[in-house]
Amino acid sequence: MLLATWWLSQVTGEGVLITFFGQNLRQNEGKRVTLLSVLPHNGDKMQNDKQEALFHNMNRIGKLYFKYGTMGSAKTAMLLTQAYNFEERGMQYLCMKPIIDDREKDNVIRSRIGIERKCSWIYPDSDLHEMLKEMFDRTQVVKDWILIDEAQFLSPTQIDQLARIVDDYGVNIVCYGLRTDFQSHLFEGSRRLMELADTIEEIKSTCSCGRKTIINARIDSQGNIVTDGNQVEIGGDDKYVSLCRRCWRNRRIESTNRNAIKFNDE
Ligand SMILES: [Zn+2]
């Protein structure tokens, strides 16, 4: 801590007050120094420029994370647990989520295990770089962590905007989401995350046969596997079940056979 203070005073010169986040230092075992804010003692231009420069490049090293898993792998519960831990430590964090269904009223991230947190909506046309930059400038507080649920629904451009926030401000951004859609193809947002993320982590869950789940299969009201349709179904009756690749294939064969029998009976 002393060393960090000395080093920062070398970087910033005199007359700049630095506020530390003690918890952050501990959490990162002293490897990284996170600044909450850098406030000049006087308002002259040089100091402002210095502040501006520091604000944007404060030697914080942020990371873009992609934590993916199939449906039901407790991604949202993990996000909310993470949020709870940040609260306990008094850290600055923000939860965000893309809005998929306009009928959703409450801006909350909710888990099946019963916990929830308020979140900021991300609209399909939201410029995330602009949105977050504006928030940091207005509040003079750069968030330490941003947690995003359902990140597969973000556009590739929005992922690029998040990556810029990580690089410009040293914010850590954790994107939780699905890797692939019901046809086993990458979501656009997930593809971009795979391409850009510093850290990619799989959240594993188990199929009823004991193998690892890979596929988010869509099933209709009769329990048949659905293979055609839009990538995102809003308000439909279809449900999803996460399966291993082998069970997915067997279930598709079963569904096809069942439909063929029905057809012959008629
Ligand atoms: Zn299986």
Q: In terms of DSSP bridges, do strands 64-68 and 199-202 run parallel, antiparallel, or are they unpaired?
A: parallel
What does pLDDT average to over the chain?
Answer: 82
Percent residues over pLDDT 90 in the chain: 60
193 CA distance to ligand 1 middle (Å) = 27
Does 186 lie in the same domain as 72? yes
Q: In terms of DSSP bridges, do strands 145-148 and 172-177 run parallel, antiparallel, or are they unpaired?
A: parallel
Does 133 lie in the same domain as 84? yes
Task: Please give the tally of structural domains in the chain.
Answer: 3
pLDDT at 52: 58
Q: How far apart are CA 93 and CA 85, in angstroms?
A: 10
Residue with tokens 């700049």: 16
Does 131 lie in the same domain as 71? yes
Does 90 lie in the same domain as 21? no
Q: Tell me the average pLDDT across 204-226.
A: 94
Residue from 71, 228, 262, 94 nearest 173 by CA: 94
Does 124 lie in the same domain as 104? yes
Does 135 lie in the same domain as 86? yes
pLDDT at 44: 59
208 CA distance to ligand 1 middle (Å) = 6
Residues 209, 247: contact at Cβ < 8 Å? Answer: yes
72 CA distance to ligand 1 middle (Å) = 14
Q: State both tokens at 133.
A: 């930059």
pLDDT digits (tens, 9 = 90+) for 123-139: 999 999 999 999 999 99
Does 75 lie in the same domain as 199? yes
Q: Which of 161, 186, 205 is the last residue of a domain?
A: 205
Q: Which of 22, 40, 56 is the last residue of a domain?
A: 56
CATH classification at residue 86 = 3.40.50.300
pLDDT at 113: 79
pLDDT at 48: 62
Q: Which of 205, 220, 238 is the last residue of a domain?
A: 205
Domain that holds residue 144: 64-205
Does 30 lie in the same domain as 105? no
pLDDT digits (tens, 9 = 90+) for 176-202: 999 999 999 999 999 999 999 999 999
Residue from 35, 107, 113 nearest 79 by CA: 113
Catalytic member of 150, 201, 202, 266: 150
Does 124 lie in the same domain as 113? yes
Does 106 lie in the same domain as 192? yes
Does 73 lie in the same domain as 22? no
Catalytic residue status for 195: no
pLDDT digits (tens, 9 = 90+) for 23-54: 333 333 333 434 444 444 444 565 565 455 45
